[in-house]
Amino acid sequence: NNLFVNSEERYKRVYRNHVTKWITEVGEDLHLQQTTYHVAIKLYDRFMAFAVNEIPKNQYQVYALACLI
């Protein structure tokens, strides 16, 4: 199952890149201060690190938005 864990972690890293770009774009579109979306990314990272259950892949952006607001 080591292969599964590695592929799951790899997917999380790849998706994190997409989500952080999205948070940055939304922050810029809303004319937020850079600090605001940097903190949102930090919150997102902390949430993902401590999430107990597997998060459905279609919910990653929802959690990112919650961190941003």
User: What's the pLDDT tens digit per position in 15-57?
Assistant: 889 999 999 999 999 999 999 999 999 999 998 888 767 778 7
Give the C-alpha distances (Å, rounded to integers) separating 35 from 9, 29, 43, 61.
27, 14, 12, 19
pLDDT at 1 over 60: no
Q: Residue 61: pLDDT band by 50, 70, 90 thresholds?
A: confident
pLDDT at 34: 93
Taking the C-alpha atoms of residue 27 and residue 40, their distance in angstroms, rounded to an integer, is 10
Q: pTM for this structure?
A: 0.76
Closest among 52, 8, 51, 43 to 23, alpha carbons compared: 43
Joined together, the tokens standing for residue 9 give 């972690």
Mean pLDDT of all residues in 2-17: 69
Measured between its terminal Cα atoms, the distance across the chain in Å is 37
